[in-house]
């Protein structure tokens, strides 16, 4: 007989304290998810975290820690490249929105919303308020 572990958790935190859940993997990479509509499910040794904007899946054995954070409130750390590189901007559903000569120019041109930026082989999710 095989026992299957199935657990569901609903994440809630006061919006004036935290606005995101950050998940850190053993390799040091992190994923920050908005608490807006966030739910987490553990099943078959996987963590599935889903909010109104996205769904992320992680192998439980790869997780180092999870913690509440202030999240991303825009571009806090620019994408660094050894040479100037164009920044491609995409919507959260993957639609190409345009290309800009720098992160700062992309940030200035975008309306409030959630975007995916790609530059010099690095992809970053941002929230512009």
- The CATH number of the domain holding residue 54 is 2.30.30
Residues 92 and 49 in one domain: no
Residues 16 and 54 in one domain: yes
Read off the pLDDT of residues 89-109 as tens digits, 9 standing for 90 and up. 988 888 899 999 887 888 888
Q: Which residues pair with 41 in a beta bridge?
A: 8, 48
Q: What is the pLDDT of residue 76?
A: 45
Q: Is the pLDDT of residue 13 over 50?
A: no
In a domain, 51, yes or no: yes
Range 41-66 average pLDDT: 87
Q: What is the pLDDT of residue 73?
A: 47
Total structural domains within the chain: 2
Residues 57 and 103 in one domain: no
Q: Is the pLDDT of residue 121 over 70?
A: yes
Burial of 18 (C-beta count, 10 Å sphere; 0-12/13-18/19+): middle
Residues 20 and 54 in one domain: yes
In a domain, 62, yes or no: yes
In a domain, 34, yes or no: yes
Range 63-72 average pLDDT: 78
Q: Which domain holds residue 32?
A: 6-69
Q: Is the pTM of this model over 0.95?
A: no
Rounded to whole angstroms, the Cα distance separating 88 from 118 reads 5
Q: What is the mean pLDDT of the chain?
A: 75
Q: Is the pLDDT of residue 120 over 80?
A: no
């Amino acid at each position: 007989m095989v026992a299957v572990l199935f657990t569901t958790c609903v994440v809630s935190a006061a919006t004036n304290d935290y606005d995101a859940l950050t998940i850190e993997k053993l390799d040091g990479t992190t994923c920050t998810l908005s608490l807006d509509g966030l739910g987490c499910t553990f099943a078959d040794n996987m963590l599935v975290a889903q909010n109104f904007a996205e769904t992320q899946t992680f192998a439980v054995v790869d997780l180092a820690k999870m913690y509440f954070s202030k999240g991303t409130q825009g571009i806090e750390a620019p994408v660094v490249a050894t040479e100037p590189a164009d920044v491609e901007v995409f919507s959260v559903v993957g639609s190409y929105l345009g290309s800009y000569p720098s992160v700062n120019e992309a940030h200035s041109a975008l309306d409030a919303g959630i975007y995916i930026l790609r530059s010099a082989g690095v992809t970053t999710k941002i929230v512009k308020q």
